[in-house]
Homo-oligomer: A and B are copies of this chain.
């Protein structure tokens, strides 16, 4: 299905994500670098973690009149600024749409939510690929015109199947992976291929109720609020850097079934918000935590 809404003619911009030890003059140096070279800044946000002495920044500027050719920006920035301040940075261009792969199992709510935003043209991304360990959601992929690969896993073939998945991801030039209620734990081997590039949704307010069956555990414990958590996947299960969380009130009236029903709405909104922030390059990861710019 083609995008329903035509994307408005966006201006070409460059985005710089920076972190480094905090020091006087970084902000002035970066903004001066852009100003001097006719880079019109359209977004700037920065954060200083004073306890750890770290400086974080996201700056976006128009390329139209920028004096430095786009292929040389990284080089110039490294030489003129980053080197001096020991800056770690990544550079992105708004006209380069990241390519997303979706991993799903049997539940459709997150998948539908992502595909409807994609179809509506809300997101600057391409979604060429859905991988699943069940055939249940193939019809959805077909209706939305997206390639669907069934890769079943069991305890003996998991390693091989993951190698196959990595191969497919490479064929499709995938930039990042979204686990849309994918009910299989990925191995360390798989995860380390995509550092800070696999986004998961966990159906609890982490760190409460990590692991399996969080709604059952929440009901058993008698909590009055349930939540959902999106995070980057790391080798530690459910312990990666948290991107977004949201919660909803429940009461003694709720049983596990109604928690699952209410949780679905949380999960899809929280996951999609994380994907949106990732697509906007508004997330910086450091020390297993995230800076998520507004």
Chain A residues within CB distance 8 Å of chain B:
1-2, 4-5, 24-25, 27-28, 31-32, 35, 40-42, 44, 46-51, 56, 107-109, 112-113, 116-117, 119-120, 122, 136-137, 139-140, 143-144, 205-209, 221-225, 227, 241-247, 249, 251-253, 255-256, 261, 264-265, 269, 272-273, 288-292, 294
In the complex, A252 Cα to B58 Cα: how many Å?
Answer: 14
Q: Which of A2, A136, A252 has the most C-beta atoms of chain B within 10 angstroms of its own C-beta?
A: A252
Partner of A116, one of B56, B108, B244, B246: B108
Partner of A41, one of B4, B24, B137, B294: B24
Kindly list chain B residues whose C-beta atoms are within 8 Å of the C-beta of A265: 269, 272-273
Q: Are B253 and A294 in contact (CB under 8 A)?
A: yes
Q: Are A206 and B225 in contact (CB under 8 A)?
A: no
Q: Which of A205, A272, A292 has the most C-beta atoms of chain B within 10 angstroms of its own C-beta?
A: A205
A40 smallest CB distance to B (angstroms) = 7
Q: Are A32 and B28 in contact (CB under 8 A)?
A: yes
Q: Are B116 and A120 in contact (CB under 8 A)?
A: no
10 residue pairs A–B, Cβ–Cβ below 8 Å: A4-B136, A25-B35, A51-B256, A119-B140, A205-B208, A207-B223, A224-B243, A225-B246, A252-B290, A265-B272
In the complex, A134 Cα to B105 Cα: how many Å?
Answer: 35
Task: Given A109-B120, A205-B205, check contact A292 B44 (CB 8 Å).
Answer: no
Q: Are B247 and A50 in contact (CB under 8 A)?
A: no
A66 smallest CB distance to B (angstroms) = 12
Q: Are B222 and A247 in contact (CB under 8 A)?
A: no
Task: Given A244-B224, A245-B223, A251-B292, check contact A24 B40 (CB 8 Å).
Answer: yes
In the complex, A261 Cα to B50 Cα: how many Å?
Answer: 17
Q: Are A47 and B255 in contact (CB under 8 A)?
A: no
CB closest residue in chain B, given A265 = B269
Q: Are B245 and A222 in contact (CB under 8 A)?
A: no
Partner of A32, one of B32, B205, B253, B269: B32
CB closest residue in chain B, given A285 = B222
A178 smallest CB distance to B (angstroms) = 16
